[in-house]
Amino acid sequence: MPLQTMEGIVILRAISNGRDCLSLLSALFQGFTVLSIDTSATLVSVTVEAQDQVGLCPGCGYESRSVHSSYVRRLRDLPILGRPVLILAKVRRFRCQNSSCSRTTFAEPLGNLALAHAQRTKRLTAQLLSLILTTSSRSATRLAHQMGIQTSPRTLLRTVDRSVRSATAPRALGIDDFAFRRGRTYGTVFCDLESGRPVDIILGRSTEAVSNWLKERPGVEIIARDRATAYAEAARQGAPAAIQVADRFHLCLCKR
Ligand SMILES: [Zn+2]
């Protein structure tokens, strides 16, 4: 049974049975407590707050229970029976009590519900991505409207772009240059060395372009590259924690 239909059933029970059903709806918001549901002819609003009373500082990893302030994040979610859903998530800002940490306060993350600064839940973004990856942006927009999701072709294309850019890099990454147009223009190719597949290509082979690519995709542990200084410096700047190795192909070339 599709999740959307299940959500619809839970909501209808919640409306008819009152407060007891708020806890039932909480099952659909893992890690959160559903505080209230308001429905109108055009919108369902669900107010939630995180159950965890402890914040983990992203700067130093220290736990904190000291709440500095709170605010409300507004997130669009999957529609219920064709009716748009707005999540009002109460977010606490904790004080970091580690005197050597550069952060004085930090906001609690919303876990599986939404990314930082996002205006949509992860599940709504996933739904939009699955629509646009199977059809054109215009058709995907039409389908989304029929499902109760307000969007536009431009927004959908931005969603795809952001999703590709925010993807994490492979653990073991190979970086090499290649030539367009008989050597007049160069690009850089990034490969996942564990799967053996290319993950991206960019125009240019400058230190800045490659280090920016790495900064946007944290998590690289090993970088295999040629012996040119541009890629070595890019790796130092973009992924300072990664181990750099000169790949066997380029070492063999240099021995000739
Ligand atoms: Zn801290």
pLDDT tens digits for 6-50? 444 444 444 445 555 566 667 778 889 888 888 888 888 999 999
Q: Which two tokens stand for residue 209?
A: 């372009």
CA distance 185 to 181: 6
Q: How many Å lie between the centroid of ligand 1 and the Cα of residue 97? A: 7
Q: How many Å lie between the centroid of ligand 1 and the Cα of residue 98? A: 6
How do 83-95 and 105-107 pair as beta strands? antiparallel
Instruction: Answer whether residue 136 shows pLDDT above 90.
Output: no
Inter-axis angle of helices 122-132 and 137-147, nearest 10: 130
Q: What does the pLDDT average to over 182-205?
A: 80
pLDDT of residue 7: 45
| Top-confidence residue, 256 or 170 | 170
Q: How many Å lie between the centroid of ligand 1 and the Cα of residue 218? A: 20
Q: What does the pLDDT average to over 147-154?
A: 89
- Report whether 206 contacts 230 (CB < 8 A): yes
User: Any idea which residue has 């940490």 for tokens?
Assistant: 101
pLDDT of residue 92: 95
pLDDT of residue 61: 83
pLDDT of residue 9: 46
Q: What does the pLDDT average to over 66-76?
A: 95
Give the CA dihedral 109, 114, 119, 124, nearest 10 degrees: -170
pLDDT of residue 22: 65
pLDDT of residue 1: 34
Question: Which pLDDT band holds residue 88 (cuts at 50, 70, 90)?
Answer: very high
Q: Which two tokens stand for residue 235?
A: 């790796």
Q: How many Å lie between the centroid of ligand 1 and the Cα of residue 68? A: 14
Kind and range of the H or E run holding 24: helix 20-26
Return the CATH number of 172-255, one of 1.10.10.10, 3.30.465.10, 3.40.50.2020, 3.30.420.10: 3.30.420.10
| Top-confidence residue, 105 or 18 | 105
| Top-confidence residue, 111 or 89 | 89
pLDDT of residue 248: 64
Strand locations in the chain, DSSP E?
32-39, 44-50, 55-56, 63-64, 67-80, 83-95, 105-107, 172-180, 185-192, 197-203, 222-225, 243-246
Q: Which long-range contacts (CB under 8 A, 24 or more apart) does 56-59 make?
A: 57/94, 57/96, 57/98, 57/101, 57/103, 57/106, 58/103, 58/106, 58/109, 59/96, 59/101, 59/102, 59/103, 59/106
Q: What does the pLDDT average to over 135-161?
A: 87
pLDDT of residue 233: 92
Q: How many Å lie between the centroid of ligand 1 and the Cα of residue 67? A: 14
Alpha carbon 252 to its chain centroid, in Å, reads: 40
pLDDT of residue 20: 58
Kind and range of the H or E run holding 142: helix 137-147
Q: How many Å lie between the centroid of ligand 1 and the Cα of residue 42? A: 42
Q: How many Å lie between the centroid of ligand 1 and the Cα of residue 65? A: 12
